[in-house]
Amino acid sequence: MKKTRILSLVLALALVFGLIPATAENLAALPLTTEAGATVSILAINSYYSNVDLRDATLLKEIADRAGVTIEWTLIDPSSYADSVSPMLASGKDLPDIIMMPDKDLNMDYLSSGLVEPLDEHFDLMPNYTAFLEKNPIIKGSLTAVDGHIYYVPQTVVTNNYQPVLMYNMPWLEKLGIEAPKTLDEFVDYLRKIKETDMNGNGEADEIPMSLMNAFLPYAFGPAFGMDLVSGYYADDQGVVHYGPYEKENYKAYLTFLNGLYNEGLLEQEFASLDRDQIVARCANDTTGVTFDFSWQMSTLYSAQYESYKADPSKGVIAGAAPLSGEYAGAYIGRNPISNIFGINAKSANKELAIKFLDYAMSEEAQDLYVWGMEGLTYEVDADGVRHFLPRCTEDTIWYQGLGINAPNMPSQQSVPATDVLLAAWHVQNDRDFEEPFIRAPYPEVYSTEEEAEISGMYQVDIQTYVDENAIAFIIGTKNLEADFDAYIATLESMQIGEMLKIRQAQYDRFASATK
Amino acid sequence: MTTLTPKNRKPLGALIVRDKYLLLMFLPVFLYYLIFAYLPMVGLVMGFEDFRMGSGFEGLFTSKWVGLKWFNQFFRSPFAFRLIRNTFLLSFYSLIFGFPIPIIFAVAITQLRSRRVAKAAQVITYLPYFISTVVVVGMMTNFLSPSTGIINQIISRLGGKPVNFMSDPSWFRKLYVISGSWQSFGFNSIIFVAAIMGIDPSLYEAMEVDGASRWQRIVHLILPGISETVILLLIMTLGNLLNVGFEKVYLMYSPAVYETGDVISTYVYRQGIENHKYGYAAAVGLFYSAVGFTFVVSSNYLARRVTGSSLW
């Protein structure tokens, strides 16, 4: 149960693949092979629902049937996927034909070792994928390795919509007679008011002003201090790359702010271990004033906890608002489009068929199946030719997910319109009003050259470790901002942050010139 | 003393035939160590190589040789000292606080008059040993939570300020040692209880007749009686001194407590499995094993010098 909820944001976003095309096209000739008993083996993640197994998913079987192949799945639980698959790739033995990579391979560990087949050499077999790349030049740019080859087929997500956003308890704002805070000062005032007032009227001082998971602190407050702490490295308007936790003034101001919230009890003691389940429980008891999470949770998870929302779902109880501004204008940090990548095993004896199958899995026809399923099974078409999901889809989640809908183990593509149809109208409007206008692109994901990968491999892990532990130490006050911050900066310097910035600058320049 | 004369020395083949069932019983142990301890040692060569992903076993012979590069990198890393210190201290504290408790408990339990109480106490203290580490750490997280944990609720009731135990670096070692000790002292006391039971009852009776007090019996009879067992177990524990339980540290720690909680094995895990730096991770692991090896050899030597008994 817990796991299901924790993963629900990914799920939620996974629910929403693909635009709904009038005619779902497929450019490849079907079936892909006439050979009887042809198989393609795939290594990928299993469903995000821990009690769903996609091995026999109806929709994925349908895709395989249309392609004329049988799929041999190796499906691994998403939470332990990287840990299980990395050693398999290191050994390079007995790998399947198609591999969902454990990470985005930005250091080119896998592709430079010759594990994966360069796909551009087989583009004649991949009409659907080449059409996709033509339509998405930025994704094509990101997927082009330093050697000029394209090795992977992506699974993509929405980037400027439905990202993490501040969400307020709307009835409480109304009760206090104020608008949603727009600046840090107003925000702190709001938190103080909640702390002092019996907002839910139960006679107990059980109000928790803010329920913010540790991972969302950089999202919520970084931009107001002029930093993109989500990406860590980021480029300013002049194209100069900075490292947030190495910003001597802004980062110190950011930590000072959070340390202040912590000391005042506005940022709870357990913020570092707070999880989504706890926030859900707080919503159910109406004890919290503001949270920060992926937009999807706003209507489907948090608002849904309130009886008043169940009575009137036309208006959100927990709803998004504009980002907070401080010395710098507020913003929300968006996401890079590529969420996962699939590669073809270079040693596979079955390469050609695997490539063709991966291409077919990218086709619009396949995307349509991922999103809508099959007529009569998951949806029906009304007299106007408009599709409607059947009631069972929302009533029986396990069955619905078990069909392989939104296929987390296939190269499926999310889109904004396909997400919109799944959400309440107020939520969609909320996204257009408060999220989209404020979104800022994150630091782009760029392949490293071998030399860059070597240097960042040497320093970045240690830097990250050091930054993570110090952020918490400064916020909870085990380290003193006045006394210890300079030493912290000095240590970062001794950890070669300068070298790292040089590399990231070079990468950013490459990206900037490639997308000009 | 018997001496081997040519007459009773049998040829090897005959010995094997004679002891075939014993050897058969030994076979799984032999295979276990061969497959899981000795063969993987070949992989240590990775610590001197720039291991190429996907090259598997052959990669050990084909990857680029980089000599001591990874060792250099580790010793220049700002975390090297901290990792070694944390690993050592965590083991050391576990030993000095964890080792005496089962002995004291065993002595105490054998002095109980009621056999039934003694039995019950043994079973109760013995059970936590079978709780998995994940569950133990989960229990700790729950009980020690600053807002809802029972410990902190007691502290607040008494007028104290809640302590964020799990994210305070100064608590990490204490929690690790205390919980570890709680889990294993009952189990570890069994062998000492057995040793105490093994002392000839006539000696007790003799002491009683001579009017020795309970305390005198403990000091002059029981402790000397089990000293051999204690020393043997101490040496065996010393051999494992640097084997900090990876799972437990991994489950308990977070960036907030890296300062005291990050140990070599968790660092190797992050570098090797999470960042695919197999060469670097192998080098750090090799260094760790070398230190551990030195420990075993020197503690064995020390034990032989001081007490006259040793593992080899």
B290 domain residue, yes or no: yes
Q: What ipTM was predicted for this assembly?
A: 0.71
Give the 3-state secondary structure of A268-298. CCCHHHCCHHHHHHHHHCCCEEEEEEECCHH
Flag whether pLDDT at B228 surpasses 70: yes
User: Predicted confidence band at B6 (pLDDT cuts at 50, 70, 90)?
Assistant: low
In a domain, B104, yes or no: yes
**Candidates B145, B165, B276, partner chain A, best to mutate (most A CBs within 10 A):** B276
Residue B120 lies in a domain: yes
B172-207 pLDDT per residue, tens? 999 999 999 999 899 999 999 999 989 888 988 898
pLDDT mean over B222-246: 81
Spell out which chain A residues touch chain B, with contact meaning CB-CB distance below 8 angstroms: 82-83, 86-87, 89-93, 107, 109-110, 113-115, 268-270, 272-273, 457-458, 461-462, 465-466, 468-469, 471-473, 476, 478, 491, 494-495
Predicted confidence (pLDDT) at residue B29 exceeds the cutoff of 70: yes
Among residues of chain B, what percentage have pLDDT more than 90? 34
Assess if residue B221 is contained within a domain.
yes
Question: What are the tens digits of pLDDT across the range A92-148?
Answer: 888 999 999 999 988 888 888 889 999 999 999 999 999 999 998 888 888 988 888
If you average pLDDT over each of A17-26, A138-147, A433-442, which comes out highest? A433-442
Please, which pLDDT band fits residue A1 given cuts at 50, 70 and 90?
very low
CB contact under 8 A, B262 and A269: no
Interface contact A461-B271, CB threshold 8 A: yes
B53 reaches A (C-beta below 8 A):
yes
Q: Which residue has the higher pLDDT, B230 or A488?
A: A488
- Predicted confidence (pLDDT) per residue in B242-258, tens digit: 777 788 999 998 888 88
Q: A155 Cβ partners below 8 Å, 6+ apart?
A: A338, A339, A340, A341, A342, A408, A410, A411, A412, A413
Q: Which residues 125-154 in chain B show a CB within 8 A of chain A?
A: 141, 145-147
**What pLDDT does residue A423 have?**
83
First vs last C-alpha separation in chain B: 21
Q: How far apart are CA A224 and CA A251, in angstroms?
A: 11
Looking at the complex, report in whole angstroms how far the Cα of residue A38 sits from the nearest Cα belonging to chain B: 26
B277/A113 CB distance under 8 A: no
Q: List beta partners, residue A413.
A: A156
Put simply, the answer to whether A113 touches B52 (Cβ < 8 Å) is yes
What percent of chain A has a predicted confidence (pLDDT) above 90?
Answer: 59
The answer to whether A472 contacts B270, with C-beta atoms less than 8 Å apart, is: no
The top-scoring range by mean pLDDT among A233-242, A273-282, B153-162, B290-299 is: A233-242
Confidence at residue A220, expressed as pLDDT on a 0 to 100 scale: 95
B-chain residues near A268 (CB < 8 A): 147
**Residue A428 pLDDT greater than 80, yes or no:** yes
Class of domain A2-159+337-414: alpha beta
Determine contact: B51 vs chain A, CB below 8 A. Answer: yes
Domains: count for chain B: 1
Q: What is the pLDDT of residue A410?
A: 95
Residue A16: pLDDT band (50, 70, 90) is very low
What are the pLDDT digits (tens) for A42-83? 999 999 888 889 999 999 999 999 999 999 999 999 988 988
Choose, out of A109, A262, A475, A496, the residue to mutate when testing the contact with B (most B CBs < 10 Å). A109
Q: What is the share, in percent, of chain B residues with pLDDT greater than 70?
A: 96
Search chain B and give the residue with CA nearest A86: B273
Mutate to test the interface with A, among B86, B163, B167, B274 (most CBs of A within 10 A): B167
Q: Please indicate, yes or no, if residue B138 is contained in any of the structural domains.
A: yes
Cα pseudo-dihedral B161, B163, B164, B168, rounded to 10:
130
Candidates 3.40.190.10, 1.10.620.20, 3.90.1170.30, 1.10.10.60; CATH matching A164-232+241-333: 3.40.190.10
Mean pLDDT, chain A, as a whole number? 89
Whole-number percent of chain A with pLDDT over 70: 95
Residue B189 lies in a domain: yes
Closest C-alpha to A342, from A71, A39, A116: A116
At A147-174, the pLDDT tens digits run 889 999 999 999 999 999 999 999 999 9
| Residues of chain B found within 8 Å of residue A273, distances taken between Cβ atoms | 141, 166-167, 254
B276 touches chain A (CB under 8 A): yes
For residue A288, what are the contacts with CB-CB under 8 A and spacing of at least 6?
A: A169, A207, A208, A209, A210, A211, A279, A282
Residue A430 has pLDDT above 70, yes or no: yes
- Residue A132: which of A153, A107, A111, A110 has the closest Cα? A153
pLDDT at A275: 84
Determine which of B217-231, B257-271, B292-306 has the lowest per-residue pLDDT on average: B292-306
- Could A82 and B169 be called an inter-chain contact, meaning their C-beta atoms sit closer than 8 Å? no
Contacts of A272 in chain B (CB under 8 A): 167, 254, 256
The CATH number given to whatever domain includes residue B111 is 1.10.3720.10
Task: Tell me if B192 is assigned to some domain.
Answer: yes
Mutate to test the interface with A, among B42, B46, B53 (most CBs of A within 10 A): B53
Half-sphere exposure of B282 (CA within 13 A, CB side): 21
* Predicted pLDDT of residue B163: 85
Q: What is the pLDDT of residue B103?
A: 93
Task: Decide if B23 is inside a domain.
Answer: no
pLDDT for position B8: 62
| Residue-level pLDDT at A259 | 96
Domain of B227?
53-307
Average of per-residue pLDDT across A282-294: 93
Q: What is the pLDDT of residue B7?
A: 55
Q: Could you give the CA distance from residue A259 to residue A493 in angstroms, rounded to a whole number? A: 24
H helices within A373-424, ranges in order? 391-395, 397-402, 416-420
Note the pLDDT of residue A15. 44
**A285 has a pLDDT exceeding 50:** yes
